[in-house]
Amino acid sequence: MAEVTGPDALRATLPASDESAPVVRPVLSGYDLGVLIGRGGMGEVTAAHDAKIGRQVAIKRMRGVSTNAATSERFLREAKIQARLEHPAIIPVHDLGVDDNGQPYFTMKRLSGKTLAELLPNHPSRQRLLRAFADVCSAVAFAHEHGVVHCDLKPANIMLGDFNEVYVIDWGLALVMHGGDVGLGLDTLDRETRAGELIGTPGYMAPEQVREADEIGPPADVYALGTILFELLANGALHPSGVAGLASTLELVDGSPAARNPGGSVPPELDALCAIALRSEPSERPTAREMAERVERYLDGDRDHEQRRQLAATWLASAQRALQSDDVGGRGEAMRFAGRALALDPESGVAAELVTRLMLEPPKRLPLALQQELAATEAATQRRQSKIATASFAAVAVFLVLACVGGVRSLSVFIAIAALTLVLAGMAFRFSRRVATRSQMLFLALGNVTLAAFLSRAFGSLILAPAVTCVMAVSLTSYPQLIARARLVVAMLVASWLTPLLLEQLGVLESTWRIEGGQVISSSRLMVLGSSSPILLVAFNVLTIVVIAWFSSALARSRRDAQHEVEIQAWHLRQLLPKAPS
């Protein structure tokens, strides 16, 4: 006959057949007895108050009024084993003795919580259950190292306290191996007294327990731990209960929770741990300590570390191949692949070096997406510079009006210069709102060159023209579309200033300047000079200085902001990435 251990001895409900049985209340000096908590095979547990110390305890005593030495010793061996296995996950025993009715008893810590069997149907957090399971494995490993095999591990014998405490309970069927160090006199009470008994609970017993093998040791508990882990991961028991569970245990049942629960997202390393713990051959199973360590490694985030490193190496090789390819998009792929490699293996110095190099070193050929982003940045720069240029042309137009208040020598020249200035101001305003093509920007540059030549002729080549030409040079060479053609733009502007001078020297045009008596005399072919002319000249030169400074400051700010952005990104990247190997 199989010994029936029943539910948790501290939380068991009363069997129906025993509900009407008379309860003989023991008399225990120093304890105030309370309600009956539960009743097991040969004992019952009562809540009590320890009057001597003032704490709440649970008292377990033999059922019935008549006992013999063998049954008493068998009852007390549970207390002796439990008391000498001092582990946080094993209930401490406080006292051991005989009550006034001659019945043996022992007191232990009173627990508050639920058994794993009660929690599982409610599908609690897997992480919480796995942490509790790791604690159970550690407690069982502790018992094994002290020569004790529990022999009846199951969800009903695992208690989860209200404050995350974890306990392995009900050591009544524990087997003390020869050489165990829990105490003298215990290792002789097992095999002789258990002959012909099937020890354990069907569905959680190891195959060697079902076969009633002579040697039952720690691997039997490991098998039971495997069935519990299977139940946590698969949301269902590995074997059925009762007699069917005994037959199922002796069959070659697939011990993979993932195969039983395909949609349950079973971690592969825990699936493999279940499979090895549930092997039929005891010698092929891991130890309870190894099970605890493997579950803790998973919970600590070190799951399949070697597998991630191998996968990282694969992504890194793909990144290097993509970088060496002639495909323009290869650099983007290389960056994505290297980033995945670094995410999988954050300690990879090679992946860190590659990601850093790809982010900080410009590519030889720009991918299309990057070209589009750069184009957007250049468009913003063009709009910003065009706003300044619009204001500059407007200032020139105002100056023309003020300069000619005293009189105009050539109305046609005045109208031509004013019209060209307004046209260029309109173009600059238009380019401040939309992106200009390179040809449009060249046309704008040509208009500036023409205006510079007209101003040189109108006001004199040595007075206003050089300053205006400098303003135009600073403005035009700052446009992104003309940066690559800066030499052409400068050459055109220089030519616009030199051409009138050359034509004047050749006699084609009337000269606007001469040297007499050691003095340079300049004249205007557009306006009539009067008393207000010096003020206008000073104002125009001040305006020129301000405009050039405005352009230069805007360019300096743009370069500074861009450089700061790059440096800030590079600094953050260096903090994020591990140092590359030297």
Domain extent listing, the chain: 16-109, 113-299, 305-360, 382-544
Integer Cα distance of 540 and 286 in angstroms: 92
pLDDT, average across residues 324-335: 74
What is the structure's pLDDT at 579? 60
Active site residue 95: no
Query: Residue 493: which residues within 8 A CB-CB, separation 6 or more?
Result: 448, 449, 452, 469, 472, 473, 476
pLDDT, average across residues 396-423: 83
Query: Residue 364: which residues within 8 A CB-CB, separation 6 or more?
Result: none
* Contact of 266 with 233, CB cutoff 8 Å: yes
Integer Cα distance of 468 and 160 in angstroms: 86
What is the structure's pLDDT at 368? 74
pLDDT higher than 80, residue 272: yes
Tell me the three-class secondary structure of 446-462, residue by residue.
HHHHHHHHHHHHHHCCC
Integer Cα distance of 263 and 268 in angstroms: 13
Integer Cα distance of 404 and 409 in angstroms: 9
What is the structure's pLDDT at 577? 62
Structure-model confidence comparison of residues 488 and 558, the more confident one: 488
Convert the pLDDT of each residue in 40-56 to its tens digit.
667 788 999 998 888 99
What is the structure's pLDDT at 141? 97
How confident is the prediction for the chain on average, in pLDDT? 82
Task: Considering the candidates 8, 99, 152, 221, report the single residue annotated as catalytic.
Answer: 152
Domain 16-109, CATH: 3.30.200.20
* Contact of 445 with 428, CB cutoff 8 Å: no
Domain 113-299: CATH superfamily, name plus number:
Transferase(Phosphotransferase) domain 1 (1.10.510.10)
Lowest mean pLDDT among 80-94, 212-226, 258-272, 320-334: 320-334
What is the structure's pLDDT at 328? 58
Lowest mean pLDDT among 42-46, 248-252, 440-444: 42-46
Convert the pLDDT of each residue in 492-527 to its tens digit.
999 988 888 888 888 888 888 888 888 888 877 777
Structure-model confidence comparison of residues 121 and 302, the more confident one: 121
